[in-house]
Amino acid sequence: MPVLPPLLPLFPLPNVVLFPRMPLPLHVFEPRYRSLVAHALESHRAVGIVLLKAGWEGDYEGRPPIYGVGCAGLIERCERFDDGRYNMLLKGVARFRVAGERPGQPYRLAEAKYTGDIMGEVGALDELRSRASAALQRIGHADELVEAQRSLPHDVFVNAACQALDLSPVEKQSLLDCDSIADRYARLLEILEFHVLEPPARRGKEPLVH
């Protein structure tokens, strides 16, 4: 794992959850987050993506509540525009827990406690992956996703599925919260089974994978 800073700049978002080893393109336009990116590029290149809790709209310019587990990413590519905006590609590195926050910047700074994913026993993970692949195929429009990931390590496979699926932000947060890859597989299976059983009128006509 790359060395990550104990004080991690936070980029809270209302509808995005980042998973370890996954890419995330971002367009940065708010002044405080332009400052965050500029400072990160000059030092550790790390950014913490966290999900905003419901009701964030009333205090968006301040410090609305966030979930306690996020994912730190490193800036892999970044393009700065003449007006100060950025397009950047972030690559997830490690989950973290917010132990506290520190003032001192226009953006939020977290005291980050980094937590690696526990892998577990290979045989059990193989079985979980087989069940997850079957569930992904049952929801439709997932053959390409499953086929492309058959040879990937378990953590990459399940994290890629979690990030690619068109789930609610809270569902994705519940997946990121899992401390082990086995638990993340199990939680993903619960969510997929719910969506398979959910009546079409509630589920809508859009595919679950995008």
Could you please state the CATH topology (level 3) that the domain comprising 7-115 is classified under.
2.30.130
Domain ranges of the chain: 7-115, 122-203
What is the pLDDT, as a whole number, of residue 141?
A: 53
Give average pLDDT by consecutive 10-residue segment, the chain, 210 residues: 90 96 96 96 97 81 90 97 95 97 92 92 91 82 58 90 92 97 96 71 42
Scan for tokens 């398979």, then name that residue.
Answer: 196
What is the pLDDT, as a whole number, of residue 170?
A: 97
* Cα–Cα distance list, 142 to 93, 129, 150, 168, 170 (Å): 26, 14, 13, 18, 22
Encode pLDDT of 8-23 as tens digits: 999 999 999 999 999 9
What is the pLDDT, as a whole number, of residue 201?
A: 44
- Whose CA is closest to 92, among 166, 156, 185? 156
What is the pLDDT, as a whole number, of residue 99?
A: 97
